[in-house]
């Protein structure tokens, strides 16, 4: 690991005056060497994304200096960073939905030279790269029709296209299955062997142990230290990240008597955006006090299923009943009023209104109710109190309630906002798409506890996730979705990761 | 942290003042180029527009319709719509005001009110086809509003020429009767001005303090999230265009019931033409915000009115006066235009937002 230092940040300070009073990055030193995977670890809002954005030219720094191979550099745009061999894959997707995969990759070239748009060449090279790194894609599909995992691969290819020396990945695994993540780790290791430097941001310590050479821990803008992974223990990393070691243990609730059927889905068929049949005859039910986990690689109809249940998408055939009431193709607002809540797949696109403040985002569900408005006039005092309570309870790191757009919140804090809004009232049915996506360890535990409480109180939960560990931890029954169908359902006790894994891959359905 | 909002407003204000400065410098440069003295000219402009009470009345009178047509644009921007239909809706409002205020006799008191409301109603109705075309046929509002502007133009011209002609003077429609006129405050300013200000404050209240405004803004910012929130997007579109139409209708009324000396519309629509389009610029200068729009319209009105004094007193050629006005206005509108454009780009790319 005595490789050359490829990029170095020295004494980097970042502040957002007028928004935050504290420094977002407080004199950070950080370097990436050739041949290593360097992990960044820290709680939600610690400053990982901001640091990565500074290294890759998306943010300017307040003070300090960046060096590339020992030479000081001043990035004015991401393109400057790319020219210096630094590329970044963002936490949130940056693709243009209405363009195809290839067109998206070609866009960056266009910035370089507005006249060139060599689609053919880009297509070939993309396929070649996708072959070389084992990143499977369909080059001519529109990005808006891709699943999260697929989009993730396109994001990576988009950066690899420039053959960067340093590749920064901001929480690339949160939307991947274990297998997909393992594949990604292989790719990262291969890149390190090729002499590249890799920066890898994650909340999962096991992943760091598995793939990284060094790890840097950040806490609220301060650096807690950089360590060789081989010389540091899991517990120590935890302590550095969170502070005093709170037992991150989690009690699975006692099993609950199932009550009445809350959600009943019969022979449901749903089309995807591009008109293909994405859900092909799915049937299941969820009872009061039951968590039904839906496992499966993303893009197998999960999103369409969730959207049909919550009224965001029309069912082409079949029935959906809530507490016996037919809600098939009812408007989303009506379904929500019946006590259905939804943690959506893409949090920044659908889950929040980025240019609005936190308070206005908090009342998306209930703004019409008497609590929050009378005769069409919004009660801002009540809303302030309400928001403050939720900020406290869900530990959302935000500068204020009314004055700042939620756009600037960190990924994990956006997720907390959504959780707070969808959970506080205690829904009858919760449709949760990878609910702990991007949360730090502590918040994951809190969320799981919250789910257990809801279940205890008799809520029905449809948990859709690629994270098998989470599915196993929470679910009473596990159904596997493959190519628009449920290929099998197992009780929590009989299910094993092997069985489920086989079903997910489409072998030996039971 | 209380000062955050104030800081934002001050920042915006500074930006606008800078733009004014740049605009005036540009104009001065132009004048020097043609051998005029910019100092004298600008002094004439300012004293003409704001120097004495009758100048101020005149300026406010110029501003009145512009506040409203700017609102038409500004409200719709909040819902992500690009409404350039104020022009045609204003014509409809004006002819509505003529129908009730000029061609009918009603007791004083309710006459003006009825005529005003009817004008607003016509303006609002004229927005309905835009909504219907957008919702059912997905016709972009720029296309449909331009078409409707022309339809309105010829329809109103026809009505003035053949149906509502002033028996005394054939080139115009029957003027509003005494009972339908708003009281003159001074110069050509009437009591419709406070009505317009009250209407603007009402719009401000609706947009920022009511559930309807919340829905409109939500749809404008993120239709996907609006759907998720269970908001009916068609309803929001209709309401947004409708509010805009009401404002434009009131603008038309203000030119008939609240603007001496003619109190009517000419068959050429000469006293109306372009007020709707100028509203777009005013809205941009006012950051598409109701309160900003009031100040922007007054500034704009000042330039229009004061510009005439540059001509009389400093002898600047009238074409040049218009060019100078243009420079100042474009310079002022640019900050908001840029932020509208970069807002879209940022949203697409998820780029950094420096909080201003
Ligand atoms: N453009 C901005 N303006 C103001 N504050 C910002 C901006 N971007 C980020 N921040 C703030 O900086 C802090 C660090 O954010 P950052 O996104 O780096 O967190 P993170 O460590 O990546 O967290 P997460 O795990 O949730 O992704 C947060 O409090 C965030 O709100
Ligand atoms: Mg982050």
Q: Name residues whose C-beta falls within 8 Å of residue A308's C-beta, 6 or more positions apart in sequence.
A: A268, A270, A279, A314, A315, A320
Q: How confident is the model at residue B62 (pLDDT cuts 50, 70, 90)?
A: very high
Q: Is the CB of A488 under 6 A from ligand 1?
A: no
State the nearest Cα–Cα gap between B231 and chain A, in angstroms: 7
Decide: B44 and B102 in contact? Cβ < 8 Å: no
- Separation of alpha carbons B121 and A174, rounded Å: 54
The ligand placed nearest to the CA atom of residue A40 is: 1
CA angle A337–A309–A260, rounded 5-degree value:
75
Q: Which residues of A touch B352 (CB under 8 A)?
A: 53, 58-59
Q: Is the CB of A344 under 6 A from ligand 1?
A: no
Q: Cα dihedral angle (A229, A86, A127, A200), rounded to 10 degrees?
A: 20
pLDDT at B350 over 70: no
Atom 29 (ligand 1) nearest CA: A45
Closest in A90, A354, A373 to B347, CB measured:
A354
Count, in order, helices (H) and strands (E) of chain A.
16, 22
The pLDDT tens digits for A400-435 are 999 889 999 999 999 999 999 999 999 999 999 989
* Length, in residues, of chain B: 356
Q: Cα dihedral angle (A496, A498, A502, A504), rounded to 10 degrees?
A: 60
Q: Is the CB of B352 under 6 A from ligand 1?
A: yes
User: Is A235 in a helix, a strand, or coil?
Assistant: helix
Q: Is the CB of A413 under 6 A from ligand 1?
A: yes
The pLDDT score that the predictor gives to residue A246 is 59
Q: What is the mean pLDDT of chain A?
A: 89
Closest in B217, B225, B347 to A352, CB measured:
B225
Per DSSP, the residues of A262-281 read: EEEEEEEEEE-TTS-EEEEE
State the nearest Cα–Cα gap between B348 and chain A, in angstroms: 7
User: Is A364 in a helix, a strand, or coil?
Assistant: coil
Decide: A267 and A315 in contact? Cβ < 8 Å: no
- C-alpha distances (whole Å) from A453 to each of A73, A253, A447, A459, B293 are 52, 8, 10, 9, 51
The verdict on B35 touching A (C-beta cutoff 8 Å) is: no
Reported CATH class of domain A248-339+428-510: alpha beta
pLDDT at B104 over 70: yes
pLDDT at A463 over 50: yes
Q: Cα dihedral angle (A420, A425, A429, A435), rounded to 10 degrees?
A: 10
- Separation of alpha carbons B286 and B92, rounded Å: 25
Q: Domain extents for chain A?
A: 5-242, 248-339+428-510, 347-424
Whether the domain at A5-242 and the domain at A248-339+428-510 fall into the same CATH topology: yes
The ligand placed nearest to the CA atom of residue A443 is: 1
In a mutational test of the B interface, the residue from A103, A377, A406, A411 whose CB has the highest number of chain B CBs within 10 Å is A377
Q: What is the mean pLDDT of chain B?
A: 89
The fourth-level CATH superfamily of domain A5-242 is P-loop containing nucleotide triphosphate hydrolases (3.40.50.300)
Neighbouring CB atoms inside 10 A of B271's CB total: 16
Q: Is the CB of A139 under 6 A from ligand 1?
A: no
State the nearest Cα–Cα gap between A252 and chain B, in angstroms: 31
The pLDDT score that the predictor gives to residue A108 is 73
Q: What is the CA radius of gyration of chain B?
A: 21
The pLDDT score that the predictor gives to residue A365 is 93
- Separation of alpha carbons B62 and B189, rounded Å: 9
* Contact call for A92 and B352, based on CB within 8 A: no
- Between A42-56, A443-457, B326-340, the lowest mean confidence (pLDDT) is in B326-340
The ipTM of this complex is 0.88
CA A214 from chain centre, in angstroms, equals 24
- Separation of alpha carbons B229 and B36, rounded Å: 59
- Return the DSSP state at A378: E
Q: Name residues whose C-beta falls within 8 Å of residue A197's C-beta, 6 or more positions apart in sequence.
A: A3, A6, A7, A32, A33, A34, A35, A36, A38, A165, A166, A167
pTM: 0.89
* Contact call for A94 and B224, based on CB within 8 A: no
- Separation of alpha carbons A184 and A191, rounded Å: 11
Please give the distance, rounded to the nearest whole angstrom, from the Cα atom of residue A45 to the centre of ligand 1: 5
- Separation of alpha carbons B16 and A4, rounded Å: 50
The pLDDT score that the predictor gives to residue A97 is 83
Q: Is the CB of A174 under 6 A from ligand 1?
A: no
Decide: A372 and A361 in contact? Cβ < 8 Å: no
Please give the distance, rounded to the nearest whole angstrom, from the Cα atom of residue A91 to the centre of ligand 2: 6
Q: Name residues whose C-beta falls within 8 Å of residue A30's C-beta, 6 or more positions apart in sequence.
A: A8, A9, A12, A51, A55, A216, A223, A226
């Amino acid at each position: 690991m005595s490789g050359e230092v490829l990029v170095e940040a020295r004494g980097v300070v970042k502040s957002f005056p007028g928004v935050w009073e504290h420094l977002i990055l407080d004199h950070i030193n950080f370097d990436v060497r050739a041949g290593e995977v360097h992990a960044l670890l820290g709680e939600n809002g610690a400053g990982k994304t901001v640091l990565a954005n500074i290294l890759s030219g998306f943010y300017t720094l307040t003070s300090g200096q960046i060096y590339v191979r020992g030479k000081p550099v001043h990035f004015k745009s991401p393109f400057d960073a790319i020219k210096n061999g630094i590329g970044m894959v963002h936490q949130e997707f940056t693709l243009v939905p209405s363009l195809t995969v290839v067109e998206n990759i070609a866009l960056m070239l266009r910035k370089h030279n507005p006249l060139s748009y060599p689609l053919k060449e880009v297509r070939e090279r993309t396929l070649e790269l996708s072959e070389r790194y084992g990143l499977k894609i369909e080059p001519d599909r529109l990005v808006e029709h891709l699943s999260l995992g697929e989009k993730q691969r396109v994001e990576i290819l988009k950066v690899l296209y420039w053959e960067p020396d340093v590749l920064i990945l901001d929480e690339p695994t949160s939307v991947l299955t274990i297998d997909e993540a393992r594949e990604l780790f292989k790719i990262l290791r291969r890149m390190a062997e090729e002499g590249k430097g890799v920066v890898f941001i994650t909340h999962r310590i096991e992943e760091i142990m598995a793939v990284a050479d060094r790890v840097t821990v950040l806490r609220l803008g301060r650096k807690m230290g950089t360590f060789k992974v081989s010389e540091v223990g899991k517990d120590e990393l935890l302590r550095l990240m969170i502070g005093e070691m709170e037992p991150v243990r989690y009690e699975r609730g006692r099993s609950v008597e199932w009550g009445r059927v809350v959600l009943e889905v019969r022979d449901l068929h749903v089309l995807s955006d591009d008109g293909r049949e994405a859900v092909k005859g799915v049937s299941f039910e969820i009872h009061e006090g039951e968590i039904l986990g839906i496992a499966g690689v993303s893009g197998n109809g999960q999103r369409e299923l969730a959207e049909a249940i919550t009224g965001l998408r029309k069912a082409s055939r079949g029935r959906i009943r809530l507490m016996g009431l037919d809600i098939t193709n009812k408007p989303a607002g009506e379904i929500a009023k019946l006590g259905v809540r939804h943690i959506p797949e893409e949090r920044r696109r659908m889950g929040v209104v980025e240019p609005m403040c936190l308070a206005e985002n908090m009342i998306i569900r209930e703004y019409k109710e008497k609590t929050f408005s009378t005769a069409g006039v919004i009660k801002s005092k009540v809303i302030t109190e309400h928001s403050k309570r939720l900020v406290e309870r869900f530990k959302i790191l935000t500068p204020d309630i009314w004055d700042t757009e939620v756009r600037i919140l960190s990924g994990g804090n956006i997720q907390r906002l959504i959780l707070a809004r969808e959970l506080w009232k205690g829904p009858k049915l919760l449709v949760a798409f990878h609910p702990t996506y991007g949360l730090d360890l502590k918040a994951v535990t809190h969320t799981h506890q919250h789910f257990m409480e809801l279940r205890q109180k008799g809520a029905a939960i449809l948990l859709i996730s690629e994270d098998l560990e989470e599915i196993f931890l929470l679910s009473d029954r596990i159904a596997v979705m493959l190519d628009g169908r449920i290929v099998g359902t197992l009780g929590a006790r009989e299910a094993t990761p092997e069985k489920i894994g086989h079903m997910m891959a489409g072998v030996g359905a039971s | 942290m209380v000062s955050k909002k104030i800081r934002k407003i001050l920042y915006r204000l500074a930006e606008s003042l800078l733009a004014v400065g740049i605009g005036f410098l540009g104009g001065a440069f132009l004048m020097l180029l043609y051998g005029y003295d910019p100092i004298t000219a600008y002094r004439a402009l300012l004293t003409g527009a704001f120097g004495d009470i009758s100048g101020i009345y005149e300026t406010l009178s110029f501003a009145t319709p512009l506040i409203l047509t700017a609102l038409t644009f500004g409200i719709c921007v909040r819902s992500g719509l690009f409404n350039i239909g104020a022009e045609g809706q204003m014509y409809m409002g004006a002819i509505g005001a003529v129908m009730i205020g000029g061609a009918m006799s009603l007791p004083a008191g309710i006459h003006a009110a009825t005529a005003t409301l009817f004008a607003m109603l016509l303006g609002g109705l004229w927005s309905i086809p835009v909504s219907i075309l957008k919702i059912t046929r997905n016709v972009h509002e720029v296309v449909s509003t331009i078409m409707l502007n022309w339809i309105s133009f010829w329809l109103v011209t026809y009505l003035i020429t053949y149906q509502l002609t002033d028996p005394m003077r054939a080139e115009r429609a029957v003027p509003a009767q005494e009972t339908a006129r708003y009281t003159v405050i001074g110069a050509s300013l009437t009591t419709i001005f406070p009505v317009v200000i009250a209407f603007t404050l009402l719009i401000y209240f609706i947009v920022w303090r009511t559930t309807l405004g919340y829905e409109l803004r939500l749809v404008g910012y993120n239709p996907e999230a609006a759907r998720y929130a269970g908001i009916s997007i068609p309803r929001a579109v209709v309401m947004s265009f409708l509010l805009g139409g009401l404002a434009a209708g009131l603008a038309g009324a203000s030119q008939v019931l609240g603007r001496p000396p003619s109190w009517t519309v000419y068959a050429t629509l000469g006293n109306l033409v372009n007020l709707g389009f100028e509203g777009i610029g005013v809205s941009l200068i006012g950051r598409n915000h109701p309160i900003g729009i009031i100040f922007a319209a007054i500034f704009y009105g000042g330039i229009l009115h004061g510009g005439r004094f540059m001509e009389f007193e400093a002898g600047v050629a009238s074409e040049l006066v218009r060019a100078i006005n243009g420079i100042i206005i474009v310079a002022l509108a640019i900050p908001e235009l840029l932020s509208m454009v970069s807002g879209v780009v940022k949203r697409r790319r998820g780029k950094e937002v420096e909080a201003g």
